[in-house]
Amino acid sequence: MDADLKSPKRLLRLTCSVQNYDWGLAGADSLVAKLYGLNSGKEIELDKPYAEFWMGTHGSGPSFVVKKTGAFENGAANGGCCGGETTGFKSWILKNPNVLGDKVLNNWGCDLPFLFKVLSVAKALSIQAHPDKELAKTLHKLLPNVYKDDNHKPEMALAITEFEALCGFIGLQELKSVLQNVPEIVELVGSVDANKVLQINEQDGDQKVKSVLRSLFTQLMTASKEMTTKAISKLKSRMLIESKLRPLSEKEQLVLQLERQYPADIGVISAFFFNYIKLKPGEALYLGANEPHAYISGECVECMATSDNVVRAGLTPKHRDVQTLCSMLTYKQGFPEILKGFPLSPYITRYLPPFDEFEVDCCILPKGASSVFPAVSGPSVFLVTVGEGTMHTGSHKDAVAKGDVLFAPANTEISITTTSELQLYRAGVNSRFLQTI
């Protein structure tokens, strides 16, 4: 075992990576920027977009272990500022695999099975889906520069602020209403495919409904650039005229917003096909493989399997793979499940998606309170987003503050005390997986 971890129950402080995608909030307004600045000690550019703060082992945004030196050894907060030497988190795990716990090690090998993030979203992300494991292996082999790894990417977004997203296909009756009220879509897909949807009913069977929806959506997403530009221009003009005569629906207002962000993009008009989700702080949305979605605005904590595979088809300047996206989707319809979490203790709420790789806990401690995270048989990553406090592991103490990220090895019990309000999030391996025999 690495000499830095003489006791397997010590917490490790991590410095983490940032992604400056153009959809991110500007540094002055971005939680990602604030966390990254505190975590790394680097100066933030106020006008630059800061989109994602990554905590984990993925090569596209790796974290680093800070070796304890000087003030850090005494538990100083914001270890990224303390001048300690760093080593790659993934390479450190490879030298210390026992920190993952036997069950995690046997199932996923010498790597953290989850990737933990914070997102600050100023404008819509791409219409996208994440491949399942089989498709991920194929895509990575064919286009390794686009699809960076061979893993699947189920994920969950937990709202920090009000958070908006498009997710999954609307139900059949709502889809029929769209085709009856948005003539520009019928112009793009053709009356034959549109009529197939209008004539079908749920008694025709799930597979037939999916087949018709797949054909309709593929026709839409593969429409020519010329046709798309013309249709969106007509749609925009019509809605602006109608807005003077009636209140526009929330979906119509969203479509106009997307058109301002991505003019003449097929993703603008495809928004009519998806559920419009508005999460309140503390609510979470989870997404399985091959499910279409696009985050619209707000800030969230996100957790996923360790992957960066994204198949995009609209609302993006990045590589689009429309045929792959249209062929891979499940075409399930209906409003997605919203997780509100369940209490583990008076101060800790757990969000448990149906994926083995991860779960997320939110801990909100009022001034003077304390709480305990019981030992679990898998690794955990903690992120402090508000306040200051102390994390205790046995006889060891680590002072923590906003921006600190700490790794807890398997089988580590952690107690937390605070003299101010403290808020932190924990990502760990799904407890249902860890509890199975």
| Structure token pair of residue 34 | 């604030």
* 293-305 and 155-159 beta bridge pairing: antiparallel
Q: Do the beta carbons of residue 377 and residue 103 sit within 8 Å?
A: yes
Give the Å distances, CA to CA, from 49 to 149, 235, 388.
Answer: 26, 30, 27
Residue 232 CA neighbour count, 13 Å, CB half: 25
Give me 299's structure tokens.
Answer: 């800030």
Strands 52-55 and 114-121: antiparallel
From the list 312, 350, 426, 432, the catalytic residue is 312
Six-digit token string for 227: 């046709």
Query: CA-CA distance, 349 to 319, in Å (whole number)?
Result: 38
Question: Is residue 312 annotated as part of the catalytic site, yes or no?
Answer: yes
Residue 386 is classified by DSSP as E
In the DSSP assignment, the letter for residue 222 is T
Phi, psi of 142 (to 5 degrees): -80, -40
Burial (CB count within 10 angstroms: exposed 0-12, middle 13-18, buried 19+), residue 6: exposed
Residues 6+ positions from 431 with CB-CB distance below 8 Å: 350, 352, 359, 376
Q: How, if at all, do strands 348-351 and 396-401 pair?
A: unpaired
Whether residue 248 contacts residue 143, with contact meaning beta carbons closer than 8 Å, is answered with no
Selection from 389, 384, 397 nearest residue 424 by Cα: 384
**Over the range 82-95, which residues count as b (16 or more CB within 10 Å of their CB) and which as e?**
bebebeebbebbee
List the beta bridge partners of residue 401: 388
- Catalytic annotation, residues: 312
